Structure 1
Amino acid sequence: MDTTARRRAFAVGVITTALVGPTLVVTSPAHADPISETRAIRKAVTLTGVREHQQAFQQIANANGGTRASGTPGYDASADYVEDKLTAAGYTVTRQPFDFAYYQLLATPEFQQISPSAVTYAEGIDFADMAYSGSGNVTAAVQGVDLLLPPGPTANTSTSGCEAGDFAGFIPGNIALMQRGSCAFGLKAANAEAAGAVGVIIFNEGQPGRTDTLFGTLGAPAGIPAIGTSFALGQELANTPGLTVRIEVEAISEIRSTVNLSAQTSGDANNVVVVGAHLDSVAGGPGINDNGSGSAAILEIAEQFKRLNISPRNQVRFMWFGAEENNLIGSSFYVSSLSEAELGRIRANLNFDMIGSPNFVRFVYDGDNSAFPVSGGATDGPQGSGEIERIFRDYFVSQNLPSSETPFNGRSDYGPFIAQGIPAGGLFTGAEGVKTAAEAAVYGGTAGVAYDPCYHQACDTFANNSNTALDQMSDAAAQATLLLAKRNLTRKPLVDPAQPVSATAGASVGGGGLHPDHGEEVAR
């Protein structure tokens, strides 16, 4: 996910597929009892074991500036820790290096009108830095670039800043004022920089739904400061004669290197279950819930597979992804590195991202899109994801624990998998979404308060945790991992749409808790 939670409201990263090909069928042996079958692994995967790994992540963050973000020493130390634990357990660990665009704000951005009036604009309300903005403190005249005012009747009518020719007559040393539209923000900024602009302001386009302050990304590091504003403010700036403004952004914006980690069990390499979690935090905190919780849980599960000498039918590939907080870069890189044949061997993906939120709800990804339909119809999610959802929901029923569905929209590391038609599922206990009164009545906790009040903040520490949630969700993760490891998994041609999962585990009382939304608006 991007470096500030506020960018998430403008994301366009919903991943959908129109899968009409194979579907996952999970076949259980006759008279199989999943609860008895998984009792040993659930007993072995302890809260104490998971918390020990989280404590190690906290100590790593403490020793490395309070962060475990990809591209920092804190992430490198986290990866070393996971590798050491896996190696000690008997695994062979694979590191997959990759480069990515790193961005970290070092101070609150500033934006002021100097003349003809003195106005100070509020960061996060009137304007926001563009992710991958360059650093700089510039004061200069503002010059509009091919603006379309009033805006066209439909979205993406404006081509402001999309072509080098738009800057004919642009005065080097000015700040370029551009309008959202038909090309990427990064292209606009690059064209402005090439024309001699010392800063960039991009305002929303102006049609319904495209008027709020932009929280966008340039997609790659820029050399000049860049901010986004609302349509109203942009129009006001465009219509102000003799306008001079000051923009200050202090940030690190550069290409860095990081790694994904993987370790796999024995079992049929033609039938692989990928069990994943992202290992990185945001730059602004240690990330012990997001996502030290999921990372610690699957590390504990991997260790106990070895300790119990489990010989699975299907190969389980445990994975810790880097740069998830930078828009799913690690998982996207991994999936894109696989051949068509290798992708075809992956039968399912399980994803665990934030499973210890202090004001939790037991959320299960809505694999069949029954509670949270996505655009395009019932087949937008890979068929078979409903089967994975059912495994989790049935487990919670067996434990007399309510569970609720959360949107299955591709906005965590399972996204690149479902984009390739691979069935997926997972668990989540809530982020910055606010717990409703109905949810509090079912799950306890405090209505009107975020599921994780420390989401993406420095206070996401070892203390930012619900032992109850972490214990229950770790057991559910162990249950699903073992069942998919042992079951006959086939990919049969799809005949009928998947049937919705009935809410047998109590009413789905919530709206999904704002699952981490890592798609960022780069194109418009």
Structure 2
Amino acid sequence: MKGISSTMAITVTGLLALNGNAEPVHYPSKCKLPLVKDKPLVNSIHLKDLLKCAQDLEDIAYATPARNRVHGSEGHHGTVQYFKDTLESLGDYYKVELQEFTTEVTLASAQEFSAGGVTYDTDSFEFGNNGTWTDVPLVNVANLGCDPEDVPDTVTGNVALIARGDCTFVQKITNAGAKGAVAAMIYNNLEAGVASGTLGGVNELIPLGGLTRADGLALAELIEAGETVTSSGTYWAYVTEATSHNVIATSKYGDPDNVLFLGAHSDSVDKGPGINDNGSGSCGILTVAKALSKYRTNAQVKFAWWTAEEEGLLGAEHFVNTSTPEDLAKIRLYLNFDMIASPNYFLGIYDGDGSRFNLSGPPGSDVAEHLFEEFFAARNLTTFGAEFNGRSDYGPFLDAGVPCSGLDTGADGVKTEEEQKIYGGIAGETYDQNYHSAADNFNNLAHFPFEINAKAISHVVATYAKSWEGFPARLPSNSTSVARRHLHPRSSGVPKRHSCGVTELMEY
């Protein structure tokens, strides 16, 4: 049910609207800045600066009643203002713009569940529908509820109890609802807290709540033993319209026809401040943007902090959809950073060449992946290919045929024994045990991957901001072989203009 329109707003002087029309390039007055070099830029990235940014984001969230930074909220407006103010404090190095758009947001309010007279920890799901029931029996759903045949006929008029895993939440409760269930409870498949997540958008599905693995298994065993376990539940939330902003900073140095683009999402889920997801990525690229402002570049460098990623990549999608094909064709490479400091981490690089997951990106995605690999290998650090499925803000760029790469330390996937031997941590546990929870705060950050990943980002920035030598030219978007990713509700020796207005031969 759609609620009243949000009255939250951000006060910004001189708000700039983005459009697809190219503007004249204005270069900073400090044309005597040195050309960016790899080692100095990498050495200028320090853990203390990353942590200062992360602490600031937590403070912004905790200064609001909701204690989060969900898009459209007071906490997210504060986050946007923080990035804007920080970038503008660097003088005239970047053109800083706010791209505004309005979308729907789910504001959670109440969730309660009891069974057999016992009250259980529970959570709602984003875009879950409101519902209340009293003294309604629980019915076990076989296997994982991914096949309609898993759902017994006895679920009609009752509440389906389903284990998480193998298919989407939507598929599970669609199957249960089709058999007449009045609601569903999904319990976790790992010892990682209460099951929760998103249904991807407004829907007409049955109400849904989450349980821990231990509680779900205990209830399932009682039912399997023949006991009638009655349950009562209340899940209430409302959907409202919210205005939100992408923050986009474009260097006034560099060739605007050869753009290096970095992005990270700036919003959290409604459960907490989102300091690993994705304060880590946001702070990583902000720290690099600040360090880069001491140098001139041959390529234009653009940074973006996307809003509404947690709602389905809406901020990045809005940018891509409102950009002209000509402007998108100027982006040589898009780099995405989402969760780069997970506590039970692995060091992941998007599998742009498809060598691990057999799904490659547009030409250049593989080259960027290998550049990241070389950085870590030079420091005797092992990396793994991370699944390149478009389920973060690089997805819309992939769909537009833009080469993409990025880093990842894991979310709700499970750490393997091989990874445990390399990185330490706990095999069999999720990479971030506090993923999408109130405990994703400043203390949830792993310092080593946070710093080394930020340094890796600066290495790739220094390399391509100086020269695109060895990087393939962009293909027309209609000639790429990249298949569209669906989310579950996701040349050389060419004369170029010098940064200070002088034409010289550059390697692109």
* TM-score, normalised via structure 2 length: 0.68
Asked if residue 94 in structure 1 is aligned to residue 100 in structure 2, the reply is no
Instruction: Measure, in 2, the Cα distance between the counterparts of 1:429 and 1:214.
Output: 20
Instruction: Measure, in 2, the Cα distance between the counterparts of 1:261 and 1:286.
Output: 19
Alpha carbons of structure 1 residues 59 and 313: separation in structure 2 relative to 1, 3 Å: same
Superposition map of 1:167-316 within 5 A: 201=183, 217=199, 219-220=201-202, 248-265=234-251, 266-308=253-295, 310=296, 312-316=297-301
Instruction: Measure, in 1, the Cα distance between the counterparts of 2:340 and 2:331.
Output: 24
After TM superposition, give the deviation of residue 322 of structure 1 in Å. 0.6
2:302 partner SS: strand
After TM superposition, give the deviation of residue 202 of structure 1 in Å. 8.2
Q: Which amino acid aligns with 1:449?
A: E
Instruction: Measure, in 1, the Cα distance between the counterparts of 2:120 and 2:486.
Output: 25
Instruction: Measure, in 1, the Cα distance between the counterparts of 2:283 and 2:486.
Output: 21
Is the CA contact 1:200–1:227 (under 8 Å) kept in the aligned structure 2? Answer: no
Is the CA contact 2:37–2:466 (under 8 Å) kept in the aligned structure 1? Answer: no
1:324 partner SS: coil
Is the CA contact 1:70–1:258 (under 8 Å) kept in the aligned structure 2? Answer: yes
Alpha carbons of structure 1 residues 141 and 457: separation in structure 2 relative to 1, 3 Å: closer
| Among 385, 405, 412, the residue aligned to 1:405 | 385
Asked if residue 415 in structure 1 is aligned to residue 398 in structure 2, the reply is no
Is the CA contact 1:134–1:253 (under 8 Å) kept in the aligned structure 2? Answer: no
Alpha carbons of structure 1 residues 422 and 246: separation in structure 2 relative to 1, 3 Å: same
Where in structure 2 are there 5+ consecutive unaligned residues?
A: 1-35, 138-145, 150-156, 161-169, 187-194, 212-229, 491-508
Alpha carbons of structure 1 residues 201 and 465: separation in structure 2 relative to 1, 3 Å: closer
Alpha carbons of structure 1 residues 176 and 399: separation in structure 2 relative to 1, 3 Å: closer
1:108 partner SS: strand
Alpha carbons of structure 1 residues 478 and 251: separation in structure 2 relative to 1, 3 Å: same
Q: Counterpart in 1 of 2:75? A: 74
Q: Counterpart in 2 of 1:435? A: 415
* TM-score, normalised via structure 1 length: 0.66
Q: Deviations 1:287-324 (Å, cap 9, x if unpaired)? A: 1111111111111111111123x2x2221110000111
Alpha carbons of structure 1 residues 395 and 111: separation in structure 2 relative to 1, 3 Å: same
Alpha carbons of structure 1 residues 406 and 176: separation in structure 2 relative to 1, 3 Å: closer
Is the CA contact 1:129–1:227 (under 8 Å) kept in the aligned structure 2? Answer: yes
> Higher RCO, 1 or 2 (CA under 8 Å, sep at least 6)?
1
Q: Counterpart in 2 of 1:52? A: 52
Q: Which amino acid aligns with 1:77?
A: G
Instruction: Measure, in 2, the Cα distance between the counterparts of 1:356 and 1:133.
Output: 29
Instruction: Measure, in 2, the Cα distance between the counterparts of 1:361 and 1:337.
Output: 35
Where in structure 1 are there 5+ consecutive unaligned residues?
A: 1-35, 113-117, 143-153, 158-173, 178-183, 205-212, 230-243, 375-379, 499-516
Q: Counterpart in 2 of 1:491? A: 474
1:220 partner SS: coil
Aligned alpha-carbon RMSD (Å): 4.6
Alpha carbons of structure 1 residues 200 and 405: separation in structure 2 relative to 1, 3 Å: same
1:99 partner SS: strand
Alpha carbons of structure 1 residues 424 and 255: separation in structure 2 relative to 1, 3 Å: same
Instruction: Measure, in 2, the Cα distance between the counterparts of 1:214 and 1:421.
Output: 33
Report how many residues are paired. Answer: 409
After TM superposition, give the deviation of residue 107 of structure 1 in Å. 3.0
| Among 332, 337, 344, the residue aligned to 2:317 | 332
After TM superposition, give the deviation of residue 493 of structure 1 in Å. 7.9
Q: Which amino acid aligns with 1:132?
A: F
Q: Which amino acid aligns with 1:289?
A: N
Alpha carbons of structure 1 residues 352 and 39: separation in structure 2 relative to 1, 3 Å: same
Is the CA contact 1:216–1:520 (under 8 Å) kept in the aligned structure 2? Answer: no
Instruction: Measure, in 2, the Cα distance between the counterparts of 1:258 and 1:518.
Output: 24
After TM superposition, give the deviation of residue 220 of structure 1 in Å. 2.5
Is the CA contact 2:419–2:427 (under 8 Å) kept in the aligned structure 1? Answer: yes
After TM superposition, give the deviation of residue 262 of structure 1 in Å. 0.3
Q: Counterpart in 1 of 2:226? A: none
Q: Deviations 1:56-86 (Å, cap 9, x if unpaired)? A: 1111112113211111111111110110000
Instruction: Measure, in 2, the Cα distance between the counterparts of 1:455 and 1:359.
Output: 11
Q: Which amino acid aligns with 1:107?
A: A
Is the CA contact 2:200–2:488 (under 8 Å) kept in the aligned structure 1? Answer: no
Instruction: Measure, in 2, the Cα distance between the counterparts of 1:133 and 1:109.
Output: 14
